[in-house]
Amino acid sequence: MNETGKIETGDGRTWNPDFSKHRPTLWALGLGGLVPFVVPTLLLLYAGRDFIAFDMLVTAIGGYSAVILSFLGGIRWGSSLMTSVSGRGTLILSILPALVGWILLFLPVPWLFAGFAAAFLLQGVWDVFAIQRGALPLYFRKLRITLTVVVVLCELACFFATYGPGATPGAAG
């Protein structure tokens, strides 16, 4: 990193890691990304297992959850390439969210949702620790905590909406 806070790439270019000017955009995209969690969760809570498109709703929630876990792993992958704070271990571990998300898709309802709730909670905790170590920017903390809380609550609501006597042991879709 040079004296202006920019990272020299070695080929004459520089990279400016200060994305703080993009905070409003990050918040808008993050909150917009909650819509595919919140709306299907509300539908599931309202209609329950009797909803005519229950299987499609479960598939949509599970699929989107897996995609977003992969995205969060990608953030860690990218940050480990860009900072000296993260090492080889972070680079290796950053592929786990995608693999965990894919594996969770094979779990039956309601355990699919419990698994995703745990995965998002663990990812959120890992990211907050990374922020404290300086591997991710400090301004990212409030956004990550907010998004993690909403997503974990949605996953738990889906779990409780599908758990119980009416639950079938079938797969998610």
Q: What is the pLDDT of residues 108-135, one digit of tens each?
A: 999 999 999 999 999 999 999 999 988 8
CA–CA separation, 112 and 159 (whole Å): 8
The structure's pTM equals 0.85
C-alpha separations of 135 from 12, 82, 138 in Å: 24, 9, 9
> Which residue, 98, 28, 40, is CA-closest to 68?
98
Cα 73 to its chain centre, rounded Å, is: 8
Identify the band that residue 170 occupies on the pLDDT scale cut at 50, 70 and 90: very low
Burial class of residue 135 (count of CB atoms within 10 Å of its CB; 0-12, 13-18, 19+): buried
